[in-house]
């Protein structure tokens, strides 16, 4: 199968116009005059990723065995199908000359779901996975049609090669980048089956399961739609303040929606943020239906930015389904049905966080 290298018009012209360097001086001059490394980024990357996910069945990411687990992998847990260890992978050989392993690689296989695509787009804006948040680090995004490589990248080497199965596929990818044929890279095409038997995979989809107990998800990159969804489902919500303050402190407009308040030394994620020396909080309860528009007109996100109130938690049938801490930003989602899970997933990045299951709160007697 033919290989096509990601390039640019400027880089193509540079290679065509330059003679092969034969001395160190020539090599330095050749290197210094090279155009910037080609990439796919920004809005073009979003469109390019749409096409990759449309064509491919699986994608892979790699991490070093010794590296701490990437938060990105946690965020992709619901489309994860398998891992395997290897000493070599696409354009990478982590072996010594005698073929003994030098640096091991862990390859993570995922299904190409819409949630996975949105998660990647929320985390990075370029094909080489340049993450602003170092906790998200994973490398070498590769796409596979069935078992066969469609697109291979090596992040740290800025390598990106396309292996189209038909001229029509090449034509589609040419809308988003320039691809130069490079026959010597054809033998780098690989199959997952060389390393892992895909036929052994069982369908693995993370759905809400009432028998499984409480499912808890950390929620990041929430859109403003999340706040609207919370009010769609909620009977009540709570706000947090210090014991010496009024329950309506910061939002007197909610007076007619006020239900009750109480002081406690135990609340959602209270062990993480402590307001005062005696470590107690005033929790104010409000009617969600009446307060909906008053909150939505003022808050720009789930953390109540642009308001003087904080730590909103939403309840349905007396049980919390979404809890927040405004500073530091913490948000946990406890879906009550598969439909609820899917609706929220469209507007935020979710990854399972079972250790937060114990943080779910209940309102008694409301």
Is the pTM value of this prediction over 0.85? Answer: no
Distance between CA atoms of 337 and 355, rounded to whole angstroms?
20
pLDDT in tens, 121-153: 988 999 999 877 777 789 999 999 988 999 999
Please give the span between the terminal C-alpha atoms of the chain, in angstroms, as a whole number.
66
* Model confidence at 173: pLDDT above 90: yes
pLDDT in tens, 58-68: 999 998 876 76
pLDDT in tens, 217-248: 777 666 678 999 999 999 999 999 888 888 78
Q: What is the dihedral of CA 256, 258, 259, 264, to 10 degrees?
A: -170
- Reference 238, options 280, 267, 278, 270; nearest CA is 267
Pairing of strands 58-64, 139-145: antiparallel
> How many separate helices (H) and strands (E) can be counted in the chain?
9, 18
Distance between CA atoms of 221 and 232, rounded to whole angstroms?
20
Give the pLDDT score at 13: 52
Report cis status (omega within 30 of 0) of the bond before 328: yes
Evaluate whether 60 touches 52 at the Cβ level (below 8 Å).
no
Distance between CA atoms of 6 and 44, rounded to whole angstroms?
14
* Model confidence at 273: pLDDT above 50: no
Question: Which residue, chain included where needed, has tokens 């499912």?
Answer: 215
The CA angle 87-90-96, to the nearest 5 degrees, is 35
Pairing of strands 258-264, 281-287: antiparallel
Lateral strand order in the sheet of 178-181: 80-86, 105-111, 58-64, 139-145, 148-154, 159-162, 4-7, 178-181
* Model confidence at 69: pLDDT above 80: no
- Most confidently modeled range among 20-24, 88-92, 138-142: 138-142
Give the pLDDT mean for 312-337.
89
Over pLDDT 90: what percentage of the chain?
Answer: 32
Q: Where are the domains of the chain?
A: 4-200, 210-359
Give the pLDDT score at 267: 87
Distance between CA atoms of 234 and 316, rounded to whole angstroms?
5
């Amino acid at each position: 199968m033919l290989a096509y290298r990601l390039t640019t018009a400027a880089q193509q012209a540079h290679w065509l116009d330059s003679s092969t360097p034969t001395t160190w001086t020539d090599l330095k001059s050749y290197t210094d005059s090279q155009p910037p490394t080609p990439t796919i980024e920004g809005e073009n990357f979003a469109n390019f990723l749409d096409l990759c996910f449309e064509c491919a069945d699986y994608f892979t990411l790699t991490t070093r065995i010794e590296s701490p687990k990437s938060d990105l992998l946690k965020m992709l847990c619901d489309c994860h199908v398998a891992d395997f260890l290897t000493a070599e992978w696409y354009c990478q050989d982590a072996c010594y000359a005698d073929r003994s392993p030098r640096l091991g690689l862990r390859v993570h296989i995922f299904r190409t779901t819409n949630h996975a695509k949105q998660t990647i787009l929320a985390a990075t804006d370029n094909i080489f996975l340049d993450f602003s948040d170092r906790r998200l680090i994973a490398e070498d995004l590769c796409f596979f049609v069935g078992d066969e490589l469609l697109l291979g990248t090596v992040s740290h080497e800025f390598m990106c090669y396309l292996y189209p199965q038909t001229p029509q596929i090449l034509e589609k990818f040419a809308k988003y980048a320039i691809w130069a044929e490079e026959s010597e890279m054809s033998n780098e095409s690989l199959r997952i089956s060389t390393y892992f038997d895909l036929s052994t995979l069982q369908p693995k989809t993370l759905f809400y399961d009432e028998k499984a107990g409480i499912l808890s998800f950390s929620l990041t990159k929430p859109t403003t739609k999340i706040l609207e969804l919370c009010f769609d489902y909620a009977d009540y919500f709570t706000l947090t303040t210090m014991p010496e303050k009024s329950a309506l402190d910061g939002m007197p407009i909610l007076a007619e929606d006020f239900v009750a308040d109480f002081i406690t030394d135990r609340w959602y994620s209270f062990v993480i943020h402590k307001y005062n020396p005696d470590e107690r909080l005033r929790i104010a309860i409000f009617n969600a239906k009446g307060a909906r528009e008053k909150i939505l007109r003022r808050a720009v996100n789930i953390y109540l930015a642009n308001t003087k109130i904080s730590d909103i938690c939403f309840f349905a049938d007396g049980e919390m389904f979404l809890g927040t801490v405004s500073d530091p930003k913490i948000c946990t989602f406890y879906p009550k049905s598969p439909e609820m899970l899917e609706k929220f997933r469209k507007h935020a990045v979710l990854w399972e966080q079972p250790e937060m299951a114990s943080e779910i709160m209940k309102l008694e007697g409301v």
